Chain A
Amino acid sequence: MRRTRAIARKELLHIARDPRSLIMALALPMVMLVMFGYALSLDVDQIPAVIYDQDGTAESRALWDGFRGSRYFTIVRHVDGYAQAESDLERGAALAALVIPRGFGAKLVAGERAPVQLILDGTDSNTASIALSYARGLILAHSGRVQTEWRLRSGAGEVPPPVDAQIRVAYNSELKSKNYIVPGLIAVILMIIAALLTSLAIAREWENGTMEELLSTPVRPAELVLGKLSAYFLLGAVDMVTAVLAGVVIFGVPMRGSTWLLFLSGGVFLFGALCWGLLLSAITRNQLQAYQLGLLSSFLPAFLLSGFVYAVDSMPLLPRAVSAAVPARYFVSLLKGVFLKGVGLEVLAVELGLLAVYALVVFALVTRKLREKIA
């Protein structure tokens, strides 16, 4: 205990004396949170659209008015020719073009089917398919209104649609992407920071020759690891608190579950992530290598395989199998569960348990690595 404390104190002094790593540890999470939180918005709205209204009647106007009134589309301009519409799509000035052919109004009045054309920029297939479904919805709603008008005029009276869907989106009722990105982001940030900070911690001792000195003292490997961990744990905990506060205060993410469970699982995750960095550091004995490996091995899996942005359930078998070994995956589930669903251990115990197993396994690996003789 005395020895562990001596190591923790020394490590804190190293951190305090190295402003670069201190700034990295405290500022990077905020920078990432703000950058990703704002840039990684997957919400599609205000899709720029152009209108090519060949008809120019009250009926055609009523149709595109629906687009103008919707928050999903912004009408950038009216064009009078395909060439203009195409050039807007090519330049990216518009992502959609609505073409209403001549005779549209007359056909509606006559009670005939009246086709309209929607041209979409399919480069970004995700945005295009979302735009498509918005446009389809708007046109369908408009058709319904026209139909009702016909019936009223012909004296048939109003007929409600036969099936009436009552939709409630649970946990994220406004379907805001930041509500699920920000909690997931906390996991990514903690993983990166933890692995990077500790990746230097043992390699530096090897490079400076102090490791040999330490190994000749009665310090046990577990004491060495715990001493170093506790110093970096402090930094990681500060990062976790700032990230959670920023998520709630700046991004307005709802925090519905238990704060206690949030920080408990954060602590367990942090412990494992810090051990991972130490393990890389102990294996490479080289600061540069450990740092690069730390960055790669924390960022990529945490970003791609954790379910932070890309849902794990819809991945092909291989990446899905790999993701089972990514601790960030379980932490992301925990974060989303606690933040958005407000569920507790009755649902999340397995995830928390797996995080603890990961942390203990990596801790055992580092101490075993340090028990090896110097070669």
Chain B
Amino acid sequence: MRAEPAVVIENLVKRFGSFVAVDHVSLEVARGEIFGFLGPNGAGKSTTIRILCGLLAPTSGRAVVQGFDAGSQPELVKAHIGYMSQRFSLYNDLTVEENIEFFSGVYGVAPERREDRKAYALRMAGLEGHRGVMTGLLAGGWKQRLALGCAILHEPPVIFLDEPTSGVDPVARRAFWDLIHDLSDAGQTVFVTTHHMDEAEYCHRAALMYRGRVIALGAPAELKAELKDDAATMEDVFVRLIERENAADTGHRA
């Protein structure tokens, strides 16, 4: 099999009226890679991820997922991805098990695979003894892992996670990143956005997005090397990159 990249973005632009949410972004994500998409709130991360999932049409440029064009073949893209939106979109008035069964159904998981996948999702979320619990009663961390479990029931080759760790305590965040690494080890591509800059450390490669543009892209070590400061945290790296970008911007205007 040809090692075609899992995600290819070329000159992607998305405008909402006069506002440019995504401004000529180009990047590639290899199969099995954990790719971090970082940046402050409003940088255009979620917009990009929605275009990749076929939820939004791009204004121009191309977004290709697993060989399918997200703009023109959204149905094919949707069959090959798992998507977890910012709000851990589960049904609070359904039990843990009912949520899993529902998503199994809408993802069209084959009947003979269902029990296996359900067991996997329950184990992954650590909810094996709690399948009958109403989902609305779960604490953030459990809900987050259940949402991930539900989004990957159909074993998609590419997984998009939009701010999966927001509003979750540090211990649960750490545990969640362990899960992401397990998925990557199993060959699945994970495209994850976050505004926690330190989480870039957990990614194979990361892009920093700011005001709709990618202003830095590389492995965490490469990004740090750019600053020539070994003690720098990823947070320092990004703050300085953003400052540099702002200065350049003012320079342009002056």
Contacts and interface: CB of A to CB of B under 8 A. Distances in A.
Contacts of A374: 50, 55-56
Nearest to A223: B106
A212 B85 contact: yes
Interface stretch (B74-82, B125-133, B170-178, B209-217): B74-82
Interface string A1-39: 011011101100110011000000000000000000000
A13 B94 contact: yes
B89 A213 contact: yes
Given A213-B89, A374-B50, 17 more contacts: A3-B108, A5-B105, A6-B104, A7-B106, A10-B98, A10-B102, A13-B94, A13-B98, A14-B93, A208-B87, A208-B92, A214-B106, A216-B53, A216-B78, A217-B107, A218-B79, A374-B56
A217 B57 CA distance: 16
Nearest to A217: B106
B55 A209 contact: no
Contacts of A5: 105
Contacts of B102: 6-7, 9-10
B86 interface: yes
18 contacts: A3-B106, A6-B102, A6-B105, A10-B98, A10-B105, A13-B93, A14-B94, A209-B86, A209-B89, A210-B89, A212-B85, A213-B84, A215-B55, A216-B160, A217-B106, A218-B75, A218-B107, A374-B50
Interface of A: 2-3, 5-7, 9-10, 13-14, 17-18, 208-210, 212-220, 373-375
B52 to A, nearest CB: 10
B120 interface: no
B83 interface: yes
Nearest to B53: A216
Interface string B115-147: 000000000000000000000000000000000
A10 B89 CA distance: 14
A185 B166 CA distance: 52
Given A5-B105, A13-B98, A216 B91 contact: no
Nearest to B80: A218
A13 B75 CA distance: 27
B105 A212 contact: no
A116 B238 CA distance: 102
Given A216-B53, A374-B55, A6 B106 contact: yes
Contacts of B75: 218, 220
Contacts of B86: 209
B223 interface: no
A10 B94 contact: yes
**Nearest 6 pairs of A and B residues by beta carbon:** A6-B105, A209-B87, A213-B89, A216-B83, A210-B89, A17-B93
B39 interface: no
A208 B107 contact: no
Contacts of A219: 106
A212 B106 contact: no
Contacts of B160: 216
Contact of A218 (B55, B106, B151): B106
Given A216-B78, A217-B78, A10 B104 contact: no
Contacts of A217: 78, 103, 106-107
Nearest to B162: A212
Contacts of B90: 210
Nearest to B81: A216
Contacts of A216: 53-55, 78, 81, 83, 85, 160
B55 A373 contact: yes
Contacts of A3: 105-106, 108
A214 B87 CA distance: 13
Contacts of B104: 6
B227 to A, nearest CB: 37
Contacts of A213: 83-85, 89, 151
A143 B30 CA distance: 104
A6 B102 CA distance: 6
